[in-house]
């Protein structure tokens, strides 16, 4: 029965078999099934899918990458990694997790030492990973370039640029404050230039 119902959804209906129970009951079942399931329920499913698609499309904006551009980017990254001109993000992540673990080893190794004198390295690595993910330590250009072996200055710049964008998305208030600070700095620079120009005119008139 399930197989026959699925075939009816696809439009493959064996009317002769249905009519064996009576044309009126078969007709009532056929039209009720098609109206309720194949028409109403299918349209509701499509409406839910399209509504979700619209919300996702609006959230990513007009500058979203297309499937073709993403495929091209994946192939390009693969070629750069093979050529040694790009370091995988997983490797960068592992490096900073390892640095956090080594920091715990230097400062708090006693907390991970068991009663028998052995060290719980697994717990230390898990805590180092968590610390690396939640750390608020400021990473500079030179710090990243020195820590990650094989990374290029261009990739470090892209990482820092991407990190700034993600930080401003998570902390919009910080982005607004930075924008206001940039406006104040611009106004101060403009005022300073105007004062210097005024001072030059005064010296020209009254040397």
pTM of the predicted model as reported, rounded to 2 decimal places: 0.49
Give the model confidence (pLDDT) of 130-159 as tens digits: 888 787 777 788 888 888 888 888 888 888
CA distance readout (Å), 80 to 29, 55, 85 = 61, 35, 5
Q: What is the CA radius of gyration of the chain?
A: 33
Average pLDDT, the chain: 79
- Determine which of 78-82, 151-155, 183-187 has the lowest per-residue pLDDT on average: 183-187
Top mean-pLDDT range of 123-132, 168-177, 184-193: 123-132
List the structure tokens of 163. 């990190």
pLDDT band at 49 (very low <50, low <70, confident <90, very high): very high
Give the model confidence (pLDDT) of 88-107 as tens digits: 888 888 888 888 888 888 88
Report whether pLDDT(199) > 70: no
Q: Return d(Cα 66, Cα 70) in angstroms, integer.
A: 6
Contact 50, 57 (CB under 8 A): no
Q: Return d(Cα 15, Cα 7) in angstroms, integer.
A: 12
Going by C-alpha positions, the residue among 33, 29, 32 that lies closest to residue 17 is: 29
Beta bridge partners of 119: 113
């Amino acid at each position: 029965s399930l197989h026959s119902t699925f075939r009816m959804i696809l439009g493959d209906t064996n009317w002769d078999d249905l009519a064996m129970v009576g044309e009126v009951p078969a007709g009532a079942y056929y039209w009720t099934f098609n109206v309720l399931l194949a028409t109403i329920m299918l349209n509701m499913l499509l409406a839910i899918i399209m509504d979700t698609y619209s919300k996702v499309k609006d959230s990513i904006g007009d500058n979203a990458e297309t499937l073709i551009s993403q495929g091209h980017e994946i192939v390009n990254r693969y070629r750069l990694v093979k050529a040694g001109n790009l370091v995988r993000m997983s490797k960068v992540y592992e490096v900073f997790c390892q640095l956090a673990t080594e920091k715990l080893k230097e400062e708090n190794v006693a907390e991970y030492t068991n009663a028998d004198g052995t060290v719980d390295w697994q717990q230390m690595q898990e805590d180092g990973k968590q610390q690396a993910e939640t750390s608020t330590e400021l990473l500079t250009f030179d710090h990243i370039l020195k820590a990650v072996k094989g990374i290029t200055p261009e990739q470090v710049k892209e990482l820092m640029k991407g990190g700034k964008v993600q930080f401003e998305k998570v902390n919009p208030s910080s982005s607004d404050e930075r924008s206001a600070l940039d406006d104040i700095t611009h106004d101060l620079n403009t005022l300073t230039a105007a004062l210097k120009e005024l001072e030059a005119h005064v010296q020209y008139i009254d040397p």
